[in-house]
Amino acid sequence: MYSDNQRKLILKLNKKKFRLANKLFVAEGKKVVNELINSGWPFKMLFSTEENFHKDAHLIKNEDMKKISHFNSPSPVLGVFELPDEKKILSETTTIAVDGISDPGNLGTIIRLCDWFGLSELFCSHDTVDCFNPKVIQASAGSIVRINCHYVKDLVKSLVLLNKPIFGTSTNGDSIYSTKLLDKASYVFGSEAHGISESLLYQLNGEISIPQFRDTNIKPESLNVATATAIFLSELNRNKN
């Protein structure tokens, strides 16, 4: 079982400032927790509603899991892990950056996509939702283990420093299907509501778009940013396979 102080701490870890102050974060779900443990991420506490999940896991009742979970439908496993130190920027050939993504599910999905398409890092503007938010961790489905998220103070500056062309995704750029997508480049995905920030727009070497295929008058406005990232990464990599 957990103490009252442990319960309070776990619930507080929903907020970034408490994660930073305690150097801890919460992961929920068997698969994610297993991936973190197997990758050697040090944990502080493990709780499970199922026996034999892990020798160090405390067996707790479903009703007690509900009291510490950050989800309406809790998973059978919750772990509190040490927040890793910031990693060095590797500067891979292709850089993916997100600018002001606020939905945890979208960021987690984008992290999972970067992993699938063989990347190791993701640039995030300072106002992007924190990658150690419990909901991002869950949506990333364990991929947080392999993707370093670099939160940079000034995304424009950081991308310019990489010294390669910068492309933005928007709704009125050149079609990704007819544009030669450069391997050595940075690609920025803007926020769900506001797109790419203005200071970054000035630095772009081009804008690219996913065309839509509906020929009626009423048209869908835009794609979800995570599905747009999926389509873009597929298009960028399809010839490498």
Q: Which is nearer to its own copies, 153 or 214 (CB)?
A: 214
Q: Does 55 engage in binding with its own copies (CB under 8 A)?
A: no
Binding span for its own copies by CB under 8 A among 15-23, 54-62, 77-85, 232-240: 232-240
Q: Are 176 and 208 in contact (CB under 8 A)?
A: yes
- What residues are paired with 190 via a beta bridge? 99
Q: Does 15 engage in binding with its own copies (CB under 8 A)?
A: no
Q: Does 214 engage in binding with its own copies (CB under 8 A)?
A: yes
Classify strands 94-99 and 121-125 as parallel, antiparallel or unpaired: parallel
Of the candidates 28, 115, 121, 130, which one interacts with its own copies according to CB under 8 A? 115
Q: Are 32 and 139 in contact (CB under 8 A)?
A: no
Q: Which is nearer to its own copies, 35 or 130 (CB)?
A: 35
Question: What span, in angstroms and rounded, lies between the C-alpha atoms of 239 and 28?
Answer: 36
Q: Are 160 and 50 in contact (CB under 8 A)?
A: no
Q: Is the dihedral of CA 195, 201, 203, 209 positive or negative?
A: positive
Binding span for its own copies by CB under 8 A among 19-27, 60-68, 150-158, 221-229: 221-229
Task: Say how many residues touch its own copies, by CB under 8 A.
Answer: 44
Q: Give ∠ CA 10-99-80 in degrees, rounded to 5.
A: 15
Of the candidates 17, 51, 163, 213, which one interacts with its own copies according to CB under 8 A? 213
Q: Does 31 engage in binding with its own copies (CB under 8 A)?
A: yes
- Report the run of H or E that residue 31 belongs to, with start and end: helix 30-38
Of the candidates 38, 91, 93, 199, which one interacts with its own copies according to CB under 8 A? 38
Q: Are 70 and 104 in contact (CB under 8 A)?
A: no
Question: What span, in angstroms and rounded, lies between the C-alpha atoms of 146 and 161?
Answer: 24
Binding span for its own copies by CB under 8 A among 55-63, 75-83, 160-168, 231-239: 231-239
Q: How far is the CB of 214 from its own copies (least distance, A)?
A: 5
- Per DSSP (E only), the strands in 51-165 are 58-59, 77-82, 94-99, 121-125, 148-152
Q: Does 145 engage in binding with its own copies (CB under 8 A)?
A: yes
Amino acid at 206: G
Q: Does 209 engage in binding with its own copies (CB under 8 A)?
A: no
Q: Which of residues 65-104 bind its own copies (CB under 8 A)?
A: none
Q: Which residues bind its own copies (CB under 8 A)?
A: 31, 38-39, 105, 109, 112-113, 115-118, 139, 141-143, 145-146, 175, 177-178, 210-216, 218, 220-221, 223-224, 226-228, 230-231, 234-235, 237-241
